[in-house]
Amino acid sequence: MKNTITVSLTTFGKFDISPINILKDAGLEVKCNPFGRKITSKEIIELASGSVGLIAGTEDLDGRTLEALPDLKVISRCGAGLDNVDLNTASRLGITVFNTPDAPTLAVAELTIGLLFNLLRKVSQMDREIRKGLWQKRMGNLLHEKKVGIIGFGRIGRKVAELLKLLCCEISYCDPFVDNGISGFRQLTLNELLCWADIVSIHVSSKDGILGAGELGVMKPGAWLINVSRGKVVDETSLYNTLSSGYLSGAALDVFEHEPYTGILKDLDNVILTPHIGSYAKEARIKMEMEASENLLKGLKLS
């Protein structure tokens, strides 16, 4: 009987069937997500029952879920973050866990730059107005030579800095795990960065809250905020209050505490909202999926 593996992602193999083919060529039976959406813990327990491997997305793989899958040997996360996986329980159960930290880097960094241009030039806002019959030329701002503070200076944060350097932006970062002066950029404390930056861009891997009412209140008046990392790092109610009062000029968010997002930030014109699509560039997705399949085969000792 073939070994069975489960793929929880909804679009896996959609743009290139190769990631699925290499699994089948290795003698694996592949079960795919039939729901067309992010699956619940109960659904993944049912779907992955009997599977020796799981190619995972962002669904919650907590201890209870992992313990309900006694045949599982390998989790191959298609993406960089592992905060949705209970790594302690996985280790105790002898489950090997992989991720694909490099493949999404450029896609998320390019999205960040795109959101910055959109936000500063108010592109989405004017697009919505034209569709409603309003022809109003809104004055924007240049990204060129802005002071950009990057919170989280790992692969993605550094790539964003590299791209912004080409636009003559002045860049500093806050990251307790990174030494001062790396790649030639200056390290600041969180408060120093928030007071200094025209733009704050968040690229952390932790789910812990970072920007609440107090932190948002010390940001430079008229500044902009970008979050393409984790939804819980920014208090959404406090952000709404700061934006609706006009203290901050605008924000762009790709991640939210609860997804799909239905909250009050939808009511503001100076906010850009995208549905957690940081890695959703076709070339990056294909690369991530290939790496995820290869990691799974490596973990099962089939490569």
pLDDT along the chain (303 residues), means of 10: 86 95 96 93 95 95 97 95 93 97 94 98 98 98 98 96 97 95 93 98 92 98 97 97 98 95 97 95 95 97 87
Say whether pTM exceeds 0.75: yes
Rounded distance between C-alpha atoms, residue 30 and residue 40, angstroms: 19
Rounded distance between C-alpha atoms, residue 143 and residue 138, angstroms: 16
Q: What is the model's pLDDT at position 83? A: 87
Q: Give the active site residue among 46, 145, 259, 283.
A: 259
Active site residue 236: no
DSSP-derived 3-state class of residue 63: helix
Active site residue 276: yes
Q: What are phi and psi of 265, to 5 degrees?
A: -65, -20
Specify whether the CB–CB gap between 54 and 48 falls below 8 A. yes
Structural domains in the chain, sorted by start: 3-103+282-299 (3.40.50.720), 105-273 (3.40.50.720)
Specify whether the CB–CB gap between 31 and 47 falls below 8 A. yes
Q: Give the active site residue among 129, 170, 276, 294.
A: 276
Q: Give the active site residue among 77, 158, 203, 230.
A: 230
Q: What is the model's pLDDT at position 303? A: 76
Q: What is the CA radius of gyration of the chain?
A: 21
The residue to which tokens 């990691």 are assigned = 295
Type and span of the H or E element at 224 = strand 224-227
DSSP-derived 3-state class of residue 55: strand
Q: What is the model's pLDDT at position 2? A: 64
Active site residue 230: yes
